[in-house]
A and B are shown apart, each in its own frame.
Chain A
């Protein structure tokens, strides 16, 4: 069974800092990996999806990378803003499973 781990569990940074969130998974045979943002009491907003053949994806200040061989993905947030404060979740879909395994999330607080 795929295990997904996210480190750190919580992170507090001053506004303007660049930061990295980590996601690791135990089985490298994945179909895709997706990063989400969740605000308190809300559903999930998709940020970036990286398919197995890709190494990274970028959207605005966000960049996600994928290294299947080492079972790792990172989400880089440039020039953080208070509005980035949320919980960030990564989800992995193994090949031929049609299901997703979620990490426990990183709760980010960006201080003004």
Chain B
């Protein structure tokens, strides 16, 4: 149980375009989802916390207009990287938390390359 999926697993896009990444909790309802990015050989950096039906809470230094997060249902959150640039190339990982539970479950990640 407690499986989280991400789609796509990897994506290449041209500079200036937008990319949407989906995060789904497959067998549980997630009231909270988290979005992280990870640069090569570095740890995870929390970008934002997303609660179903409300606006996401962004970490300091993360541009909310560039990284649009939508948490429309208890099983789906999306991250849209708008007007992507090469410096946005990274590994994006989401996690989900069971309602009332302490543990977070991670998706397999999405590798974004902006050319």
Check: A58 CB closer than 8 A to any chain B CB: no
List chain B positions with a Cβ less than 8 A from chain A: 4, 6, 32, 34, 42-46, 49, 91, 93, 95, 102-109, 111
Check: A102 CB closer than 8 A to any chain B CB: yes
Q: Which of A39-61 contact B (CB under 8 A)?
A: 41-46, 49, 51
Whether B102 and A98, one on each chain, are in contact in the complex, defined by CB atoms closer than 8 angstroms, is: no
Check: A36 CB closer than 8 A to any chain B CB: yes
How many A-B pairs have beta carbons closer than 8 Å: the answer is: 51
Nearest CB of A to B105, in Å: 7
Indicate which residue in B45, B49, B93, B102 contacts A44 across the interface (CB closer than 8 Å).
Answer: B93
Q: How large is the interface on A (under 10, 10 to 19, 20 to 34, 35 or more residues)?
A: 20 to 34
- The interface residues of chain A lying within 8 Å CB-to-CB of B107 are 43
6 contacts between A and B (CB under 8 A): A34-B103, A44-B44, A49-B103, A100-B34, A102-B44, A103-B43
List chain A positions with a Cβ less than 8 A from chain B: 31-32, 34, 36, 41-46, 49, 51, 89, 91, 93, 98-105
Consensus secondary structure, chain B interface: strand
Which chain A residue shows the least CB distance to B91? A41
Consensus secondary structure, chain A interface: strand
Whether A42 and B109, one on each chain, are in contact in the complex, defined by CB atoms closer than 8 angstroms, is: yes
Taken together as a complex, chains A and B put the C-alpha atoms of A93 and B97 apart, in Å, by 12
Indicate which residue in A46, A51, A100 contacts B46 across the interface (CB closer than 8 Å).
Answer: A100
Whether B42 and A34, one on each chain, are in contact in the complex, defined by CB atoms closer than 8 angstroms, is: no
- The interface residues of chain A lying within 8 Å CB-to-CB of B104 are 34, 46, 91, 100
Which chain A residue shows the least CB distance to B97? A98
In addition to A32-B103, A34-B103, 16 A-B residue pairs with Cβ atoms within 8 Å of each other are A31-B102, A36-B106, A42-B108, A43-B4, A43-B106, A43-B107, A91-B104, A93-B102, A99-B34, A100-B46, A100-B104, A101-B46, A102-B43, A102-B45, A104-B42, A105-B43
